[in-house]
Amino acid sequence: MTSYAMFFLGLGATILWGGLIVTLVINFKNEKMQNEAK
């Protein structure tokens, strides 16, 4: 494994996890807002 391969692997993983966390946070906030509106 070259340092470039490791770098891009880490970058890809970070983007994937970041997207997953952002999606979860947005869904959580939307659910809270809907519950408060009821």
Domain ranges in the chain are 1-38
CA distances from 33 to 26, 28, 29 (A): 11, 9, 6
pLDDT tens digits, one per residue of 1-38: 799 999 999 999 999 999 999 999 999 999 888 888 76
35: left (phi over 0), alpha (psi -120 to 50) or beta: alpha
* pTM of the complete model: 0.60
Residue 16, both tokens: 């994937």
pLDDT at 33: 86
pLDDT, position 4: 95
Distance CA 18, CA 3 (A): 22
Helices (H), 1-38: 3-37
